[in-house]
């Protein structure tokens, strides 16, 4: 009897776990839906802004505007890592942290001083555990990142870059391609990368003037990259959590099946034994 009762208890516990993972999966699915909507509704602005910057960019402006300054030698670079505040999302946070460490390693091997800025509890916990100093730590970005969040994250870096305290800023976040594919990636947000191809705004009326418009658009352009990254990261996190929780739910189902089988076997064994005892007892009386 003891065997069957133990199995019964394990079945109960696995059922409870499955209930929890299934709920988390459902929650992640609904959050993912909202997050992907935000990703796609943020796209037109990003595209139009990039387009305008592209048409106004001219190489000779690089010397005039601090945000376009391309330092000959990098001495100090900032790495901005975006992670989640919560775990249970499969390899989501680990992959981002791994990417951040790779970038840090690479910069250091080139003799560049680095400083680390981390958004999200999970990244902070990791680097705190490793005793790596972090310049800034932020945990206040919620499920719905706003452009103001992005601005408050990036503006100190932008200011430091303008003043010459930094020569480059790298952003590490998940690139949201679909709910199933959101690989971690890194890109340089400062200095503003030179557009691969410029489409000069020939024949355009520019008011007040090309360079002035460009100058006004650079800060929003940098901020928008961080904003887009925050929004995509959130979608990627929900996608990763949904996948992880779906796998957990499926695994719980598999375990339940095995446990149910061994429970039935134990029960059957017990019944067989009882019958054998009764038959044996009856036989002894004859």
- Cα–Cα distance measured from residue 44 to residue 202, given in angstroms and rounded to the nearest whole number: 23
Pick one of 151, 160, 185, 195: the residue that binds another protein (CB under 8 A).
151
Pick one of 30, 75, 188, 204: the residue that binds another protein (CB under 8 A).
204
Q: Is 208 in the site for another protein (CB under 8 A)?
A: yes
Q: Give the residue among 198, 244, 199, 197 at the shortest CA–CA distance from 84.
A: 244
Residues numbered 212 to 231 that lie near another protein (CB under 8 A) are: 212-213, 216-217, 219-220, 223-224, 227
- Cα–Cα distance measured from residue 257 to residue 107, given in angstroms and rounded to the nearest whole number: 51
CB of 47 to another protein, least distance (A): 9
Q: Identify which of residues 225 and 249 has a Cβ nearer to another protein in the complex.
A: 225
Q: Is 65 in the site for another protein (CB under 8 A)?
A: no
CB of 51 to another protein, least distance (A): 8
CB of 57 to another protein, least distance (A): 13
Exposed/middle/buried for residue 94 (C-beta within 10 Å: 0-12, 13-18, 19+): middle
x/- track of binding to another protein for residues 100-139 (CB under 8 A): ----------------------------------------
Are the beta carbons of 172 and 117 closer than 8 angstroms?
A: no
- Cα–Cα distance measured from residue 272 to residue 176, given in angstroms and rounded to the nearest whole number: 58
Q: Is 284 in the site for another protein (CB under 8 A)?
A: no
CA atoms within 13 A of residue 34's CA, in its CB half-sphere:
9
Among the listed ranges 121-129, 174-182, 187-195, 201-209, the one in contact with another protein (CB under 8 A) is 201-209
Q: What is the crossing angle of helices 210-285 and 92-109, to 10°? A: 130
- Cα–Cα distance measured from residue 172 to residue 211, given in angstroms and rounded to the nearest whole number: 30
Among the listed ranges 120-128, 146-154, 166-174, 177-185, the one in contact with another protein (CB under 8 A) is 146-154
Q: Is 143 in the site for another protein (CB under 8 A)?
A: no
- Cα–Cα distance measured from residue 64 to residue 43, given in angstroms and rounded to the nearest whole number: 29
- Six-digit token pair at 124? 């902070």
How distant, in Å, are the alpha carbons of 9, 41, 176 from that of 107? Answer: 53, 34, 25
Tell me which residue has tokens 């990098």: 74
- Cα–Cα distance measured from residue 122 to residue 128, given in angstroms and rounded to the nearest whole number: 10
Q: Identify which of residues 212 and 271 has a Cβ nearer to another protein in the complex.
A: 212
CB of 237 to another protein, least distance (A): 19
Among the listed ranges 51-59, 88-96, 188-196, 265-273, the one in contact with another protein (CB under 8 A) is 51-59
Binding positions for another protein, rule: CB under 8 A? 38, 41-42, 44-46, 48-49, 52, 55-56, 146-148, 151, 201, 203-208, 210, 212-213, 216-217, 219-220, 223-224, 227
């Amino acid at each position: 009897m003891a065997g069957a009762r133990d199995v019964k208890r394990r079945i109960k516990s696995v059922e409870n776990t499955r209930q929890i993972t299934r709920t988390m999966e459902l929650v992640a699915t609904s959050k993912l839906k909202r997050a992907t909507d935000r990703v796609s509704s943020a796209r037109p602005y990003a595209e139009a802004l990039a387009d305008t910057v592209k048409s106004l960019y001219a190489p000779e402006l690089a010397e005039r505007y601090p945000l376009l300054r391309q330092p000959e030698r990098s001495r100090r670079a900032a790495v901005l890592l975006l992670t989640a505040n919560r775990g249970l999302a499969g390899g989501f946070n680990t992959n981002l942290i791994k990417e951040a460490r790779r970038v840090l390693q690479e910069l250091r091997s080139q003799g560049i001083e680095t400083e680390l800025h981390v958004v999200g509890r999970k990244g902070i916990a990791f680097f705190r555990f490793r005793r790596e100093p972090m310049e800034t730590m932020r945990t206040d970005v919620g499920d719905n990142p706003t452009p103001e969040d992005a601005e408050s994250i990036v503006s100190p870096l932008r200011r430091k870059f303008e003043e010459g305290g930094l020569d480059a800023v790298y952003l590490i976040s998940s690139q949201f391609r679909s709910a199933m594919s959101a690989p971690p990636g890194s890109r340089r947000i400062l200095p503003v990368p030179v557009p691969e191809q410029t489409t000069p705004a020939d024949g355009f009326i520019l008011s007040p003037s090309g360079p002035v418009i460009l100058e006004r658009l650079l800060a929003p352009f940098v901020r928008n990259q961080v904003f887009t990254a925050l929004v995509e990261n959130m979608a990627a996190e929900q996608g990763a959590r949904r996948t992880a929780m779906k796998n957990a739910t499926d695994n719980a189902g598999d375990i339940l099946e095995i446990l149910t089988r061994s429970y039935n076997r134990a029960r059957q064994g017990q019944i067989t034994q009882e019958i054998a005892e009764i038959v044996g007892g009856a036989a002894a009386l004859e």
